[in-house]
Structure 1
Amino acid sequence: MDQSKETSPLLNSGASKNYSDGENGAYASHKQGASIEEAQVQGSSSSNENQPFSIGGLSKRQKTVFVLLALANLYSGCGFSLLAPFFPQEAAKKGASGTAIGLIFSSFELVIFIFSPIYGNYLTRIGAKFMFVSGILVGGSCSVLFGLLNKCPSGEIFVVMCFAVRSVEALGLTGLLTASFAIISNEFPNHVATVFGALETASGIGMMIGPSLGGLIYQIGGFGPPFYLMGGLIFLNGALMFKFLPEIEDASSPRKQGIWKLLTSVSVWMSMIIILSASIGISFTDPTLSPHLEQFNLSPALIGLVFTIAPALYGLSTPFFGYLSDTKGYIFSILILGNLGNGIAYLLIGPTPYLPFLPSQLWVVIVGMIVLGLSIGAAVIPTVKCMLLGACDIGFENNLDTYGIISGFFNSVWCLGGFLGPTLGGVLVNEIGFNKASSVIALFSFFSVLCSVIYSVVNKVKQKAVIGSVDLQVSYSQIPKEPPPIESV
């Protein structure tokens, strides 16, 4: 029997080509009770899915959705990073302590961590379009309000208002992020990882230009104008989304499983470990790398340039890794290489004292940032598809409701890492120094490599068992149920 016909319809035929390599074998027959005929139908229904992603090949509806999502991610990334160059100084003038300023920044991730699963659970009841558009409008409103906070009295009132506005803005972004991934999965079912990677590029561009744009406008017009401008752009994007974003319908039957059943999937747990590890690592550098670079007597502009290396390469590489995940099916190979690259990158950025042949020079740090930028996308992007496949493997339907739940968990775990990374990084650097602290962060990535390898090996064992069982059923089905009649002489 042709093995490619055993592949789950969630996997396109590109993934089926690597079935024999064990990349997706565990999902080949996630409904083990299905008949041979059903498996054959599933295989034939996916025969046209192995089409490379291209803008020209999209329908008018898909192009509209893609462009609007890209703009939303661009503005969101820009708005999130806009205040980095000037807010700490302004907040200090208002009497905010360094700890309070750090908590104002990290409260954003904490709110998203708490509310993302809740938003994902109620996505289909609220409506994907409504959640997306309302999230944008809330974010735009809060951006404008944040620009007015310099009018607040100094001291506790200023700090409390910053927390309040930042937290409500995070609630809006939670709705945007949760609905965004669900819309991607619904509109581009055969290219989920590719489109997700492309939108991550847009978000990365926003994160890169946000500090520069914010600093420039702040220098020209003061505290308020950067937030007013960004709030206006976000509002405009929200109006366009309301006008042109198609309604996202979900005609599936009501979900029987609770959202926490998702945590019974080993694949989902593995994905969340990888996401958490990657997020802790990338956010670890936010408060710690700049002081580490001061030993090289770099100007603030050059330090900023070093910071942009990893986000720039991440944004450029994510569509490629999404393409490999969608059309080639190299999910576990990419995950293993990506996490291995992350671990090596943090050893270089330190550089780790446990590899004495690594010199403590600027070029080593730059090489580490380059490796990190290329590997972080490989470690993160395939987890999206891995979580979706794991959810369907335990009985969740391949529908908008499931996409929302997965989106909620993905964003929640990512933001948990974004909250823990700077906190853990600050503690480790104070206690053991940056070199050893980066080595500890590298261990998180190497642990993710170990999880991926173990899971991949178990996958191959299960795959061989499934193939052997199917082949046995086929052989048995070919045995005549009655002996042939004896021909008379």
Structure 2
Amino acid sequence: MERRCKEIHDKKEGRDEEIEDEKEGRGETVKKHTGEELLKLSSRQKSSLMNGALANIALSACYSVMQPFLRDEAIKKDVSLTGAGAIFGCYEVVMFSCSLIIGSQLSRIGSRRCFYTGTFVIGVSSLSFGLLGACPPGDTFLGLAVSIRMIESLGAAMMLTANYALATKEFRDNVATAYGFLEMCAGFGHVFGPLVGGGLYQLGGFGLPFFVTGPMTIVIASVAIFTLPNENKDEERPSDYGQLIKLAKIPAIPLEQLAVWVEFFGLCALSPTLGGHLQNVDASIQGNHIMIGLAFALCGIFYMCSVPLVGFITDKYNHRKVIIVSGLIVTALSFTLIGPWVPLTELFPNDKGAAWAVFLGNCLCGIGTASITVAVMADCVNEAVSHGLPDSIITYGNLSSIFNTSMGLGNFIGPILGTAIVEHNPFSTLSAVLTGLCLGEAGLLVLYCGIIYAVLRRRRKWSRYSSTDSPIDSATYNHIHNDSSLLLLPPTPYPVLQEHYLQSEYE
């Protein structure tokens, strides 16, 4: 038995060395742990990360630069508040409707070409939006604004899908850390975009913010054309049109994407409603737009600061599902404080809540969003590959598009349902709905993980039994294999199981 175990151990070490040699021969970076490795990046990785970070900052800035003044400008142009909302809402519609198509065609288009083309479209669209200051008021302004925003959203879908697919390919062994850095840059753009936009608007009017962000983004796209690493010829494969269906059949991926939808649905449900609620709970904040803006900024600031740390922890300890569930619980607590949820209203003197609870809730919301976003993106890649899908740009592109679709759908539905709930019910009702969604999703993930653990434990017991010299009847094997198939677990044939556990006993 010891000699057999020694042979298995030697064979495994030989296979690992062959795999590492093969990766090095293809020019790939072989890493096993996160930490100091990210400080020793190859020129290819540095270029990808630099371009992705700059593009994320530019995209977020172009998206949020108009938030401080678009409402007032729309009123000047004889556009209703509903029309102003449509200018924002159409962006999300195009995002979630086009992302899946772009992801499925990414290998055909080319991730590099998709990246810099999308970034260029964002820049040109932002620059064009600034010209609307000279546009006639009324329906002409509204129609052109919506059209330009839809084109900009198409560029954003292209850039984001390609950006995260490239990050996955270049940082395959440190995916969460790379995602964390990119999301930190996106958060930076969302936090400082409105500040810069408001200042430039006061300085030079409607067009100036866009005349700054548009050319800046075009320059970033131009730099990407010359500095983004070339794609390998073996990556130019035909699209796998059926892979989206295969991904949807892996239970963990829809469950985790549901967590993304819940998170962004909650965030965007607060966007049109939180300002009024904050003024309602604290009369001293009436008309104080600086304090209202601070409430929104706190979520972005804590998100921006948390994502690198969450990415590092995710890669170091690999407890991705635990981090997702923890993020959902933290987010549920944040919505409970912001509301506050009905059971907590009696803790406040006015039975409505307090400004400090709203500010604290937004801080926790930023931390929870960071935990969910980074861990979901990293775990979906792991789930797809472990279920036999190719570890290639095709899979990365499809997963990136699914994530963008979940996020865009939440961003679109959130403001609509959020305002509908608050119009007919107290704000605490919206808080209860958002808290319930987060806790319900956390419960589903815990239940799924519990079932998986029970099946894998049963599989391990069977494997240990099969590693002995006792005969195994086919009925026992088929019964346990069918239990695993119902959960769509990665298939593990009998010899692999026996070899794995023989090695474990030897070690």
Which residue matches 2:23? none
After TM superposition, the structure 1 stretch with the greater mean CA deviation from structure 2, 355-364 or 450-459, is 355-364
Which residue matches 1:17? none
Task: Supply the AA of the counterpart residue of 2:153.
Answer: A
Equivalences for 1:338-487 in 2 at 5 Å?
338-359=327-348, 360-476=353-469
Give the match's secondary structure for 1:311: helix
How many pairs does the alignment contain? 447
Which residue matches 1:270? 255
Determine if contact 1:338/1:375 at 8 Å carries over to the other structure: yes
Equivalences for 1:232-311 in 2 at 5 Å?
232-249=215-232, 251=234, 254=238, 257-295=242-280, 296=282, 297-298=284-285, 299-311=288-300
- Does residue 184 of the first structure (1) align with residue 167 of the second (2)? yes
Determine if contact 1:77/1:206 at 8 Å carries over to the other structure: yes
Residue deviations 1:327-370, cap 9 Å, x none? 21111211111101111110100111222343211111122112
After TM superposition, the structure 1 stretch with the greater mean CA deviation from structure 2, 91-100 or 208-217, is 91-100
Task: Supply the AA of the counterpart residue of 2:186.
Answer: S
For 2:206 and 2:232, the matched residues in 1 are separated by: 42
Residue deviations 1:270-302, cap 9 Å, x none? 111101001101111111111111232321112
TM-score (norm 1): 0.87
Determine if contact 1:55/1:63 at 8 Å carries over to the other structure: no
Which residue matches 1:211? 194
> Are residues 204 and 474 of structure 1, via their aligned partners in 2, closer, same or farther at CA, if it must alter by over 3 Å?
same
1:417 positional shift: 0.2
Equivalences for 1:54-93 in 2 at 5 Å?
55-93=38-76
Which residue matches 1:324? 313
Which residue matches 2:213? 230
Task: Supply the AA of the counterpart residue of 1:416.
Answer: L
> Are residues 478 and 463 of structure 1, via their aligned partners in 2, closer, same or farther at CA, if it must alter by over 3 Å?
same
Which residue matches 1:24? none
1:121 positional shift: 0.3
Equivalences for 1:80-229 in 2 at 5 Å?
80-229=63-212
> Are residues 41 and 458 of structure 1, via their aligned partners in 2, closer, same or farther at CA, if it must alter by over 3 Å?
farther
For 1:153 and 1:195, the matched residues in 2 are separated by: 45
| 4+ residue segments displaced more than 6 Å | 35-44
After TM superposition, the structure 1 stretch with the greater mean CA deviation from structure 2, 460-469 or 285-294, is 460-469
- Give structure 1 stretches of 5+ with no counterpart: 6-34, 480-489
> Are residues 138 and 470 of structure 1, via their aligned partners in 2, closer, same or farther at CA, if it must alter by over 3 Å?
same
For 2:92 and 2:257, the matched residues in 1 are separated by: 16
Residue deviations 1:93-147, cap 9 Å, x none? 1111111111110111110000000000000100011000000110000001000
Task: Supply the AA of the counterpart residue of 2:131.
Answer: L
Give the match's secondary structure for 2:464: helix
TM-score (norm 2): 0.84
Determine if contact 2:107/2:238 at 8 Å carries over to the other structure: no
1:220 positional shift: 0.7
1:213 positional shift: 0.3
Which residue matches 2:491? none
Percent sequence identity over matched residues? 29
Task: Supply the AA of the counterpart residue of 2:35.
Answer: P
For 2:151 and 2:82, the matched residues in 1 are separated by: 20
Task: Supply the AA of the counterpart residue of 2:267.
Answer: I
Give the match's secondary structure for 1:148: helix
Determine if contact 2:336/2:435 at 8 Å carries over to the other structure: yes
Which residue matches 2:505? none
Bigger RCO (CA 8 Å, 6+ sep): 1
Alpha-carbon RMSD across the aligned residues, in angstroms, is 2.4
